Structure 1
Amino acid sequence: MPVVAFHSSLDSPADWEPALRRHLPDLDWRTDERPGDPAEVQAVLAWKPPPGYFARFPGLRLVVNLGAGADALLGRDDLPAVPISRLNDPGMVRLMTSYVVFAVTRHARDIPAFEAAQRRREWRYIHPRPLDACRVGVLGLGELGAAAALALAAMGYTVRGWSRSPKSLPGIGCLHGEAGLRALLAATDVLVVMLPLTGATRGLLDAGMLALLPRGAALVNVGRGPVVAEAALVEALRSGRLGGATLDVFDREPLPPEHPLWAMENVLITPHIASITVPGEAAPDVAESIRRVLAGRPPLHEVQAGRGY
């Protein structure tokens, strides 16, 4: 009988328990309200649990991170050396892809200019550009990034992608390494940041890197806030070096009310909702990971601590 504990500040146990029980009928489900004996817990489904949370489970064998990015788990002093599995469900991929397509299209079709004209009650005509005239750069070609890049290319955008190691995707110009990153930035009209947060990506897009983008380019960040140096981002938006941004992730979340990004008319802010987990679609993989680990095998979608994702 798998004994599984649940803790999340975003997801509801009422959604996860029935979804997981369909695949693990003998599940023993534990929550903060129904804790039982912590020593019996073998797996934990968690999203940003409080400090010390994992120390109560001496028999822990698996942690399932309820999200795509596991940076909040890595480096914790209460987490034993057990496998960490991240989510990769079709619903999450579809939601992320829809957000990226929306954000890129919003900039490519000059929607912010029309929104500003509407506030002035001004009929402003801007002649549409062909979609292939808009050069989109996607940083990060993992499961989410690759799906978004392919969807944009299928719509007719000119898409190039960058990743840590060489990748190949149909219809996408794939680059890697520092030289590849610089080349991509220099030829990008809308930059989509979909990188995980690691030691190598923290602050990757600093003032120097942002300056490589053509003047007036737009930035979309759906990866992690600290991948983009926030002070440099604010200055680039103020100066017009960047023409606009759609931001779903930030250094601090919630974004403090006094933050200058709130007052910028060329910025669209959303509260980290580009993609969420769909329990019914994620549960089969989660159940399989639990079964595998209890049988002495690695879980699905295992996080490699050395890489940070």
Structure 2
Amino acid sequence: MSLLVAVTWETQPWIERFTRHLPGREIVVLGEDFDRSKIRYVATWGPKPGSLDDLPNLEAIFSLGAGVDHLMGYPDLPDAPIVRVAQDDLTHRMSEYVVMHCLMYLRDHARFAAAQRARRWEQDRSPPIAADVRVGIMGFGVLGQDAALKLKMMGFDVAGWSRTPKNVEGFKVYSGESGLDEFLACTDILVSLIPLTPDTRGILNRSLFQKLAQDGRLGGPVLINAGRGGLQVEADILACLDDGTLKAATLDVFEKEPLPEDSALWTNPRVTITPHNAAASEPEATVRYIANQIRRHEAGEPFENLVDRVRGY
């Protein structure tokens, strides 16, 4: 059995990790001379066109991250199962990010930070509590449900939205186009964790923002996008911040990355920017997860977190 590591970054650390977790297996990388007929598995992120061609005995493709949009657009993607890396390390990191920013908006952190810089003592006599704030999570899979549970523990009023119907104990889950407007109408903080597909590209736009609740305790709706940059229309975000349709936005992902220096998002006081690190996968945990999936498969057990090619996630 050989595993091909097909990435666009430094490969040696990944070879060392896979060698430790899959002892006795041959680990190869693009650019080396190897027998393509021996490749059973591929671990990849952003493969170059042609790099996954002519692998006649391929049994699985592992995406080195929770997202798979980098593969869905790949020309002539091999007809093999695609497995998302959805391990606990990544899930916990995403939940930390979402909870942190929801709490910052709840406690009006930006206003007090500005007051500190101005050396101005500013008190809030009637601040909302978490139960006063409605958080709506778009994308109610593993990541969304974990974030929802932790937000609920903090007291937030949490609901979810999913493209397909889901029953999740303890939460109201809206679904499909028919449920989206109702979901948005009762959302003060919109958290976007949906995958990027042709159907969701550009979904975070003015039309959607106008449907968010305008009667909440935060003084206006807030956007948190920790999913994919292709989901958002940045010109609409800026315009909606200017006219009050949105009160604030936290953005971890962008239409173009790194975010260009001349982007108006950098200097907008209502925008919080982070450099696509909301849930950066810990490499050791990622390799451990893939190694476990290979062992499960070779023991006759099914892969976990298989991607539906039709839906794109």
- In the superposition, the TM-score normalised over structure 1's length comes to 0.90
The alignment partner of 2:174 has SS state of strand
**Is 2:169 the partner of 1:170?**
yes
2:241 to 237, 240, 251: 237
Letter in 1 for 2:92: R
Residue 150 of structure 1 contacts residue 172 of structure 1 at CA under 8 Å; is this kept in 2?
Answer: no
User: 1-side partners of 2:66 and 2:143: how far apart?
Assistant: 9
Q: Decide whether the 8 Å contact of 1:153 with 1:171 is kept in 2.
A: no
User: Does the alignment pair 1:106 with 2:94?
Assistant: no
* In structure 2, distance between residues paired with 1:170 and 1:293: 30
User: Which has the higher mean CA deviation after the structures are superposed, 277-286 or 44-53?
Assistant: 277-286
Q: CA RMSD in A?
A: 2.3
Residue type at the aligned position of 2:253: V
Deviates more, 1:258-267 or 1:114-123: 114-123
Q: Which residue pairs with 1:36 in the alignment?
A: 34
| Residue in structure 1 matched with residue 195 of structure 2 by the alignment | 196
How far does the alpha carbon of each residue in 1:200-233 deviate from its partner, in whole angstroms, 9 at most, with x for none? 2122232111101134211000111222232221
Partners in 1 of 2:78 and 2:200 — Cα distance?
25
In structure 2, what is the equivalent of residue 75 of structure 1?
73
Q: Aligned-pair distance for 1:19?
A: 4.3
2:217 counterpart residue number: none
Change (3 A) 1:11 1:268: farther
Change (3 A) 1:100 1:35: farther
How much identity, in percent, do the aligned residues show?
39
Q: Taking structure 1 as reference, are residues 115 and 212 closer, same or farther at Cα in structure 2, changes over 3 Å only?
A: same
Distance 1:168 1:11, change over 3 A: farther
1:137 aligns with 2:136: yes
Q: Say if 1:176 and 1:306 are closer, same or farther in 2 by CA, change over 3 A.
A: same
Q: 1:252 aligns with which of 243, 253, 256?
A: 256
Structure 1, gaps ≥5 residues long: none
**Are residue 224 (structure 1) and residue 223 (structure 2) matched?**
no
- Structure 2: gaps spanning 5 or more residues: 215-219
Q: Alignment partner of 1:73: what SS?
A: helix
Write the deviation string for residues 215-271 of structure 1: whole angstroms up to 9, x where unpaired. Answer: 421100011122223222121112221111110111111111111211211111111
SS at match of 2:145: helix
The C-alpha deviation readout for 1:137-161, integer Å capped at 9, x for no partner, is 1111100111001110111101111
Q: What secondary structure sits across from 1:191 in the alignment?
A: strand
The Cα of 1:183 is off from its aligned counterpart by: 1.3
Structure number with greater CO (CA < 8 Å, separation at least 6) is: 1
> What does residue 304 of structure 1 align with?
308
* One-letter identity of the residue aligned with 1:82: A
Corresponding residue pairs, total: 307
| 1:65 alignment partner in structure 2 | 63
Deviation at 1:109, TM superposition (A): 1.0
CA contact (8 A) 2:61 2:83 kept: yes
Counterpart AA for 2:60: L
Please name the residue that 1:278 is paired with: 282
Q: TM-score, normalised by structure 2?
A: 0.89
